[in-house]
Structure 1
Amino acid sequence: MSESIFIDGELLRSDKHAALRFRPDAGYAPFAREMTAPLTLAEFSASVGVFPILFAHGPEGPAPVALMGLSRGENLFVTEDGSWTARYIPGHFRQLPFFNTEVRDTGKVVLSILPEHDAFSGGADSVPLFESDGAPSAFLANVMVFTRQQYDHARTTRVFCNLLVELELLTLVTSRVKVPGQGARRLRGFAMVDRKKLKALPDSRLAELERNGALEAIHLHWASIRNLEGLAARIAQERGGVPIAPPLTSVSSIAHQLSAPLH
C-alpha cells in the first residue's frame, strides 16, 4: 500500500494521467496563505538571510520550517498575482505539484502529484508529462531527479531532527514580535534549540554534532531568528508604507530619535 503526504495527492500513472500538461507560469498563488514551509538541512544556508528557521511539530516529530508570516494564514512573500518576492523559495514549494512518496513496507520511492493543482490547467506554453508511447517526457524525467533529491534531503533532515529529540535540545518558545506602528504579534507553537542545553552536552556529543554538520545547522537556525524583525517590517510596509528593511541603529538614527541637531 502506498500513501501520499497530501490528502488530495495521488500516485502519478501514465495510463491515468497521460493527458496532463504542466503550465510553468502558474506562480505561487496557492501558497499565499501558507505561514510556514518545510525546510531541509540543505536549505539552511540559503534561508538564513531570508526567513526565521524554527521547528514545528509534524507527522514524524519536530521538523524545521521557514516562517513566512506572523499570523496563521499569512504569507508575506507572495503577491496578489502569485509572484514570489523573496530571494529564496523553499524547495517544498518549488517541487509542487510533484512530490515523492514511499511505498509502505517496500522502501520504494515513487512520484506523486496534486492533480487538481492550478499548474495542470494547461495552456499554450504547457508541457506534456508523457510521450505518446507512455514514456516520461524529458520534462518529467528531470522532475523525477529534482523531487528525488528533495526527498533524500528530507530524510537526512529527519535524522538530524531525531538527534535533536534524542539529546532533548528543543524547547518550545513564545515570542513577542513588535510591528512598527502596530503593536506586537505573539508567536506560539514553535521550538528552538536551547543554548543552555547544547552547552551542557558532554564534549564527546558536541564533537559528534560538529563532525556530522549538525552544529553548523544549529548555528544557522539561531542566526536566522533575527529575520523576525524583517517579517515585522514587511507587515508595516504593506499596511503603513514604511521601508521593508528593518531599521538599523546608527549614530544618525540615535540623533533623530532624540531630536538632536546634527553637527
Structure 2
Amino acid sequence: MSKVIPLSPSRFAGRGWRRPNNFSFALATAIAPLAAVEVGQAALSMPLAFIQRDDHWSLAAVLGLLPGQNLYVDRNGAWLARYVPAALRGYPFMIGVQANGEPVLCVDEASGLVTKGPEGEPFFDENGALSPGVAPVAAFLTETARSETQLMYACDLLVRAGVVEVWPITIQKDDGAQQVTGLYRIAEAALNGLDDTTHAELRRSGVLGVAYAQLLSMGNLAQLGQLAQARAQSEAAERARAEVKPMITLPEDSTIDWDWSKIGR
C-alpha cells in the first residue's frame, strides 16, 4: 500500500532514496493519466481512453483490462511496451495538490525506495534545497502536471461537444463475460457529423489531435488482449505445475542405499 506524503526537509533531511531498477511498482496500475505532450507517442504503443476524474475528464493509457492489472509489466518487472507513460517515470516521486490548490512534490514513503538513514541519494542538500538528484525529477513532474491540466481542458471540450461515448469492451473470463467499465472513446460518427461552427471551434482550440490520437490508439486493444491471453495461459500453466504430485516419494533418510540392479525386476 502506498503512503504518499509531501517532501519536506523536516521529515526527510538526512534520509535517502533509491531509483527503481524495474517497473514492479506499477504491477497493479491499470490506468495511467497522460499529459498533453505525450499523447502522440502513447497512442502508438497502447490503447488510450477518456476517463472521468472528479469534475474533469482526462485521457489515460489503458495498461490492463481488470482493476489492479498491468499487462505491460511482466513477472520480472520488465516493461513490455515501446513507451512508458510520464506518470510512471518519476516514481517514487509524484506531484500532489495542497489544500490551497498549489502543487507540491510528494514521495511514496512505502515504496521500499526510501531509506531511514542516509543510504542512497539524499533528498536535500546541506542548505535544505532539493538535491541534484531530486531537482530534475521535480522539474520533470511539475512540467508533466502542467501538461496534464492542458489535456484535461482539451478533454472537457470534447465531452461538451458531444463526441465522447462509452467504450464497450467485453472480456471473457472463466466464469463468463465481463464488461470493462469506466472507459470512454471518441464517437467517430458524432465527430464526423459536427456542424461547421463546432468543428472550427475545436480545431482552433487544438483539441482535434487528441480525438484522432484516441481513435488511432484503439487499434492497440488487440495487442492488449493478446497480452491478457498470454498471461492467463502462463498463470494456468503455473497452477497446473503446482498441482502435479511426484509419482515416487523418496524417503527423507538419504543414507539408505538403493540396489538399482533390482529396480524393474
Q: What TM-score, normalized to structure 1?
A: 0.78
Bigger Rg over Cα: 2
Letter in 1 for 2:122: P
- In structure 1, distance between residues paired with 2:183 and 2:150: 21
Conserved in 2, the CA contact under 8 Å of 1:174 and 1:189? no
Conserved in 1, the CA contact under 8 Å of 2:15 and 2:119? no
Conserved in 2, the CA contact under 8 Å of 1:24 and 1:125? no
* Alpha-carbon distance change, 99 to 26 in structure 1, aligned in 2, over 3 angstroms: same
- 1:61 maps to 56
Task: Trace 1:78-157 onto structure 2 (pairs within 5 A).
Answer: 78-105=73-100, 108-121=102-115, 126-157=120-151
Task: Trace 1:39-58 onto structure 2 (pairs within 5 A).
Answer: 39-58=34-53
Task: Trace 1:156-171 onto structure 2 (pairs within 5 A).
Answer: 156-171=150-165
Identity of aligned residues (%): 25
Q: For structure 1, which runs of at least 5 residues remain unmatched after alignment?
A: 1-5, 242-263
1:79-103 Cα offsets, whole Å, 9 max, x none, are 2232212111111111222222343
Task: Give 1:224 deviation, angstroms.
Answer: 0.5
Q: Aligned with 1:162: secondary structure?
A: helix
- In structure 2, distance between residues paired with 1:220 and 1:29: 28
Task: State the 4+ residue runs in structure 1 displaced beyond 6 angstroms.
Answer: 122-125
Q: For structure 2, which runs of at least 5 residues remain unmatched after alignment?
A: 235-265
- In structure 2, distance between residues paired with 1:20 and 1:40: 31
* Alpha-carbon distance change, 189 to 110 in structure 1, aligned in 2, over 3 angstroms: closer
Q: Let me know the Cα RMSD of the aligned residues.
A: 2.9
Q: Aligned with 1:83: secondary structure?
A: coil
1:127-153 Cα offsets, whole Å, 9 max, x none, are 111112322211121122111111101
* Alpha-carbon distance change, 143 to 122 in structure 1, aligned in 2, over 3 angstroms: farther
Query: Which deviates more, 16-25 or 225-234?
Result: 16-25
Alignment of 1:14 onto 2:14: no
- In structure 1, distance between residues paired with 2:24 and 2:117: 17
- 1:233 maps to 226
Letter in 2 for 1:117: S
- In structure 2, distance between residues paired with 1:59 and 1:178: 30
